[in-house]
Amino acid sequence: MGGGGTQTGRQGRGNRPSPGEPARPLGIKVTLIEPIGYATDWAGPSARFARELPAYDYVREANNARRSSAVRGNPEATGPVVLKLVDMGQPPLRIFFGKGAHDMIHAEYGKRLAEWDQFKVYYPPKAGQGHKIK
């Protein structure tokens, strides 16, 4: 849920449009599928890992603990759902695949909204508006 570089406009406000939004008026349907992990060998035998540095042991431990309790999706169950999306007259701009994805995102955005609401009294009324570039 992040990215590098400078973000401006809607992106800077945490309100990134779907890549499919601009294409809708042209009759092009795009759905951004946001999956949770699948039960594949992605991090198993097919993966290649760099040499582990002891300074990052705590990060690996936290990731391993998180992954050990994760429920992985069945990649074979994805195809039929994608075909249903393709056949829809108005498919969603975004959809979550995987157990817990909706709840996880809902909780994250709830925290963001609460923080934004808490500090909105500090937002300068003219910040980022109407500055002419010479």
Helices (H) and strands (E) in the chain, counts: 4, 2
Determine, yes or no, domain membership for 66.
Answer: yes
User: What φ, ψ does residue 89 adopt, rounded to 5°?
Assistant: -65, -40
The residue range of the domain holding 96 is 24-120
Q: What is the pLDDT of residue 123?
A: 78
Q: How many domains does the chain have?
A: 1
Label residue 6 by pLDDT band (50, 70, 90): very low
Q: What is the pLDDT of residue 53?
A: 96
Determine, yes or no, domain membership for 57.
Answer: yes
Res. 71: pLDDT tops 90: no
pLDDT digits (tens, 9 = 90+) for 25-65: 888 888 988 888 777 877 778 888 889 999 999 999 998 88
Q: Give the helix, strand, coil percentages of the chain, each rounded to 5.
A: 45, 5, 50
Res. 7: pLDDT tops 50: no
Element housing 112 (H / E)? helix 101-119
Distance CA 68, CA 90 (A): 37
